[in-house]
Each structure stands twice: as structure tokens, then as C-alpha cells.
Structure 1
């Protein structure tokens, strides 16, 4: 069995280890966990690094647990947050837990152990917890945590509710160690303070040593976080973000970031990734080749072969200038997996292309639509629009139902015409 810590270090996956001995410890099978708070009914691409960590540990013979914070999700982790999270209704939290559990079991397999920390916290009395666990925490070190210091210095400040989060997360680690012999907690670099607090609690309560590992957060070369688009988060659930949009997000990754993401979000060998990196430096390199590999690998991991096939088919069919036939059946299929809008016949037929482009959100203004046409970036049904005064006519409709608008190489909007 190859050493998983060495594998992840070579892929620049690991940010910190609580103990250098961990590299030796993982030469034998251990149990580990990553925590996910159910603040939404889907994880997003930032969570994918934690999912990959569990998958790598599983591949190397270790037992992987995913903790869903049914209890801690009612509070919200203040780490990396400038404002306190809005509280969620219990029914919403239960729905979110169910969705996240289903996703994790789909991606990581039915043998992934999914636990909910509300199962133990709901049985603990508040005064008992303060007496038995709270006494092991000192205010000084708690205030010294980076996430706490940043919030304390802000105008918003920090409530006691959020301040107590690190105690709850620490107890999670203790409970999982005591009942499931879990000796490794894994989390993002912003979780370091919470993880080490848990390690210290276990040492005080049991005189045993457990371990922590953090991974680097997904950030771009400019330092900004990955995972945001114009329309919101890059969700991992296809009900919140289509296969096509997920695939397209990865296709649009910059050259400066793609190698890093290939190392962190795929299982491609380092030899293959180094080969791709060398190809990118060659004059004969075809732009976006590395991004297509990234999009293929990640989309297939998250959405399976069927999801990948749909994403690729939609991409090919909707590509501006594409030779793909835009027939009714093709457009009916891709209407589920790309941005689309319904309009009435009278609202679009007989109107200028530039007016409609602004109306449906292809461009932010009519002047931008005019510039798009003049710069040869406007498309209608995959054909370039060269006349800014062109009028949308009934003969442009595909099967009397669809129009496909495009801006540049990447942005497409499918318009469905409501029947007259």
C-alpha cells in the first residue's frame, strides 16, 4: 500500500499536518473523517477537495467517514465568514442532510460511513456539556484563533453562539474517536484552529494522540476563491446546476490554474499531469486542451458517465459556429442542461437581435449587444450575426419552437417560444 500522505504532498494537496508522525501512522489502515455542515441542499465545488481527500484515503485502504453537522449546522461555522450565518429551520436542515448524504454515497460509494452529529448532541444536557467539556477550554486560546480574531476586530463582532462552534467541533472529534476509533480529522486550511482544539481535547480527556490534516482551499492564481459564477455557487447537485453548466465552469478555468486543479480534483497520475503541463508550453499546444481534460475527469467523478456525455453533447451542439445539426430533438434535450428562457411569439418575432439579446440577458445593455455584433461575437442558431439591424423572423425558429443565442465562444442562451 503506497503512503497516502506522500501521494497528497506530491500533489500539493496538503496545507498542514498536526504531527510528522502521521506519515508513518498511515502505513497501517486508520479511520478518518471530514465534516460538512448542511447549510444548503447541495455541496459546492469548494467542498470537493474534502470529498477528494476521503476518496484518496479510501483508495489507500483507510476507512472514511463523512460527518454531516445536523447540530453544528444550526449554528454555522464562523471560520472565513465576515458575518454571522442566518439560522436555518430544522425541517430545512433535515432536507439538506438527506440530499448531502445521497450525494456522498453516490460519489464515494455505499461503504462511506455517513454520520450526523445531532445524533449525539441532542442527548446531551447543556449544563452537563459545560461542566464536563467546557472546563477543558480556556478563553485565551479560543480568542487567539484566527477566525475569532478577525471577527472580533470587525464591526459585526461575534456572538457567543458562533464562539462556541469550536467546542462543538472539538467534541465531534472526541465522540468519533471514542465510539469509532477515528484518529484523523481532515478539513480546509481555515479549519486548522478547530481541528487542533479537538486534538487537544482528546489528549486531555484520554491522554491519547490523534491527528489533523488540512488541505489548501481552492483559490485562483489571483488569490480569489474558486466556486462562484455570475449566477451563484458552483453546486455539485445537478438539480441546482446542470451537467452542462458544471462542465462549462471547468472548461473556463484559466491556464494559470488548470494544473493545480488537475492535481487536487482528479485522480490523473502526476506523470500524466506533468505531461499536460509540458504540452501547454509547446507552440503546437491547442488552447483549452488541459481544461477539457479537467472538465471531463471532474464531471465524470461527480455526475458519472451519463452526466459527462450529456454535458459534452450539449457543448458540441450549442457551440457557436458548430456544424452540429440544431434540430428539435437535440434542442429539447439540451434545454434541460443549459440556460434557457421562455418568451411569447409576439415578444420576439419582428424584433431586433440586439434588443432581444439585452432582453434575455445575453448582454447587459443594447450598446453591449451592438458591440458584440460589430466584434463578430454574436450568434443566432450557431450562425454568426453580422448585421446589427437584423430582425428575428419566424423562419429563424427551429421547429417553430427554439432560438439559440450565443455571445462569444462560451455563453449561450436557449429561447423557447411559447405557442401562439
Structure 2
């Protein structure tokens, strides 16, 4: 099977790693990729937002499947252009990807499909925002309606901070605050059949104890020993399948990866958000425990035959991913700092260094090239063992200004 992965980040590296580990004849390409992806795939210098260029590359390579990783190309309609050339694509159409590209659209879908979620108001003026904040009260939840790389949400008790965030956005959603722990539940779908994956949890705030600003994600782990029994079945029945069925009935069938961010509130499960692609860094942990070949699942979702493929199987044990970010993140990022120690972990079968914001400098040295630089992902017999391995890996990697959380999966491992 010949696959082309589109994107540059940690999610794409995790996907390329998993595809390269599939049994049988496997050939992985990536565009444009990063230095870590280059270890398991052939890289091609193509703009991931240029649908025609991506389609031309896929035709030239003769690939069996294109996997569009990031949200921006999906919202831009790259998958549509590739499909028009007769090539199987894992990833939703431009119209279906609006479920992530517009939070207002996602709320409309949830209302129509009777999916439980937070009450919200769509606001375009300061006066509307102020009224909504007063109606819902603190903690204030303000979400940029469009794509914001995981950093468009503010949850705060500071009313002025909520107003300031809204002022920087064209359109926002002001929502009621949802109490309770959050869970990420991904699902593969071909527009009809839905296969949920194993639940995971990510850590959005920059600092330990969920302090500091929101980020794209500072770490993740799976499984969740504290998750209630029957959670996956409930979410499939009440959230995932109704959403997929509604989109199909509306003429915008969704195929690819549907991500449900959930809050387990005192009133039951509520959807915080939908995404139209694999989440980062949960993907790093989840794919490390996947026991099924990834390629056949993705291709079946792309061509409408998911029901003919066995549902995903999972290895015993646990996986923990810890993100290392560059100095200044998330307000800014630093490029060009030399990274040392990553190569020494490559020989470890139970640890992966998943590259996100990395590059090679003129001397061939690995350097930082973005906010979230890499994630150390480890597997173990349980969460405590996986944590120990992941943080041991983090301690062996160094670059100036490196920052990371020390509490990823700590509370769950102690339960």
C-alpha cells in the first residue's frame, strides 16, 4: 500500500510512523513533512494548502491513499480536489469540514441531531458579547468561531479578559461553562459506519495544574482508568452516529476522522467541540497502542467500506505523550535552537520522539522550528510505567528555553 500523508506536524509524524509499521508492502510519502517524518517516509516539497499541487503529486506517485492531516487544508477543500482526480482520500470535504471550521455551524449540526452540548450565543458585536457574558455568568467561555490552532478559546473569571479576547475575533461563541473532566473521543467513519477509538485525555493549558494560557496541547494519555463504564457506547449512540447520520442526510456526508471533545458534567456527557481530523497530541498516544493495521482502516473509511473491516483493536497497557515546547510558546515561538539527545531515543522500541516543530539547519543539526517542538511518547504496562519512560525521555532531550508540563497523566496513574 502506498500512502501520502499531508502536513508537517506531530500528528502527521505519528500517522506516518503507524503506517510505516503496518505489516506487508508499505510505502509512505509525506508532503512537506519534517525531519522526523523523513526517517519513515519520502518527503516532497508541496504546499499542503494547494489542492492542485497535492493532487498532482498523488497522481504522479500513484498512491492508493492520501491522508490529509491538518484542519486548514481540509477546511480549504484540499480533499475535494484530490477526490476529483479519482484518488481515495482520508479526510472530509470542505463542506463537511465546516464542523471544525465554524463553531456556529457545529452548534447548528448538534441542535439538528439532538446532540447534548453547552448553551451558546453567536456574537458579532461587543454589545452582544457583553450581554451573553452577563447571561451565562462566570467562568466565562469565549470561542473564536474560526480555526485558531487550538488556541482560540478563553475560559476565565475575568470579564474584561473575555471581552478582550472577543474583540480580537470577527465572530465568537459565548457559552455556558461545562464542569467536569474532559475526554477526547475520536471516531473513524465513511459517512455511514462509525468506529470509535479508545478514549484519551489531553492537557490544553501550558503549566502544571492547568495553569497558564491555552495551547495546542501539552500532552496526552490513554486509556482513562477513571472513565465511566459504557462511555464509548453512550457517545457513539448519542453523539457520533447521530452527527454522521445528520450530515449524510443533509447532503454533506462526513468521511474521515470525527473528533468529539467531551465534558463529563454533573448533568451528563456534553460535547465541547467537534474537530474534523486527528487531534494532536492524543494521536501520538492512541496510535502507539493501536493493534490493528492503520492503513486498511483509513482506506476503508475513504472508499466507503468501513463496515467490511474489523473494528480497531487495542494493545494492553498504556501510552503517555509529553510535549516539549520552545521558549515563548504559546504567545510566540523560537526557531533555530539546537536540539540534542533526540537521536539517542530512536533505538528504543517503547519510546518515540515525534517531531512537530523541528527543522535541519545549514549544518544538518536538528533545531527548533515552531511552538510545540516534539512529543516524547512512551508505552508501558500501565500509566505509571509509561509516564516514567516518557519523562525519562524528556530528561534526555535538551534545547534552550525548552518547556514542558511535569504532571501529564500523574493523577490518573495514582488512581
TM-score (norm 2): 0.30
Report 1 or 2 for greater relative contact order, CA contacts < 8 Å, sequence distance ≥ 6. Answer: 2
Structure with the largest fraction of helix: 1
TM-score (norm 1): 0.29
Please say which structure displays the higher CA radius of gyration: 1
Structure with the largest fraction of strand: 2
